[in-house]
């Protein structure tokens, strides 16, 4: 089942239902969202727009925006490297040396614009061995602004000011729901093991397309943030 199918199944299982007719997992979910009270009115719908929210749940007239995840190796954010750098320069700190290092890292072909020879494309691990100083400068910059960046990647997104209220990991039958503050604090206070990290999130290229095939070429030049241990971590949270 895809992520979209899973979201639709959750919406279908909640929308217009009576609390008593929900399965035990969804009852627990609704109970937590509704301040540990049984809800008399339940509405669920797809959340429109480019927010981090996947669905909206309205309980007794109060709306909560929810991001839904399932499976492993969860990607939580993607955007073009130039869009990310534009955000950093305008909203965080302008540092052209770091920004060029980011471009160099994300394209991974010895250029700043992705127009290098295909045979020059290298993996992130090989890049770190070859350019440890560039990686260190990027890491130091991201560490300084870890909290605001993680908030953008997890609860805001790149084009919205609407924060999500909850993260739900699971399906109709089984899952765990966490308040925004709880998983945000965990993500900031813990670090993942990756070439470059932003707290618990790995900062990486969506796809370097090292082999040069046409299928993934459009994925180059994009940053991707992954929470690879989300399945285990959400149980701790």
Q: What is the pLDDT of residue 2?
A: 86
Q: What is the pLDDT of residue 6?
A: 95
Domain ranges of the chain: 3-71+163-176, 74-154+190-228
Interval 55-76 mean pLDDT: 93
Give bridge partners of residue 57 from the DSSP assignment.
Answer: 44, 64
**Taking Cα atoms as reference points, which of 229, 227, 231 lies closest to residue 174?**
231
Q: How far is CA 13 from CA 10, 44, 98, 171, 172, in A?
A: 5, 9, 47, 10, 7
Helix (H) or strand (E) holding 117: none
Q: Is the pLDDT score of 175 beyond 90?
A: yes
Interval 6-27 mean pLDDT: 96
Q: What is the pLDDT of residue 110?
A: 97
Q: What is the pLDDT of residue 162?
A: 77
Q: How far is CA 146 from CA 57, 182, 187, in A?
A: 30, 16, 10
* Cα–Cα dist 79/106, whole Å: 12
Structural class in CATH, domain 3-71+163-176 = alpha beta
Q: Is the pLDDT score of 49 beyond 90?
A: no
Lowest mean pLDDT among 109-118, 155-164, 180-189, 192-201: 155-164
3-state secondary structure of 180: helix
10 Å Cβ neighbour count for 15?
Answer: 14
pTM of the model: 0.93
- Percent of the residues in the chain that have a pLDDT greater than 90, as a whole number: 89
Q: What is the pLDDT of residue 50?
A: 66
């Amino acid at each position: 089942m895809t992520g979209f199918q899973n979201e639709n199944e959750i919406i279908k299982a909640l929308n217009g239902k009576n609390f008593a007719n929900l399965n035990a997992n969804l009852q627990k979910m609704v109970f937590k969202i509704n301040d540990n009270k049984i809800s008399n009115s339940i509405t669920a719908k797809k959340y429109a727009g480019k927010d981090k929210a996947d669905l909206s749940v309205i309980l007794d007239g109060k709306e909560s925006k929810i991001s839904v995840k399932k499976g492993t190796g969860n990607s939580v954010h993607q955007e073009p490297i130039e869009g990310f750098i534009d955000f950093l320069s305008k909203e965080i700190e302008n540092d052209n040396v770091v920004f060029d290092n980011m471009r160099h890292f994300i394209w991974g072909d010895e250029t700043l614009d992705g127009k290098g020879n295909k045979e020059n494309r290298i993996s992130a691990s090989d890049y770190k061995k070859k350019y440890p100083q560039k990686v260190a400068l990027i890491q130091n910059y991201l560490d300084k602004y870890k909290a605001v960046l993680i908030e953008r990647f997890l609860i805001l997104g790149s084009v919205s000011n609407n924060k999500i209220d909850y993260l739900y990991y699971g399906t109709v039958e089984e899952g765990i729901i966490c308040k925004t503050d709880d998983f945000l604090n965990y993500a900031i206070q813990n670090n993942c093991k990756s070439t470059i990290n932003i707290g618990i999130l790995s900062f990486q290229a969506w796809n370097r397309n090292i082999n040069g095939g046409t299928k993934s070429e459009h994925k180059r030049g994009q940053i991707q943030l992954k929470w690879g241990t989300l399945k285990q971590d959400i149980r701790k949270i």
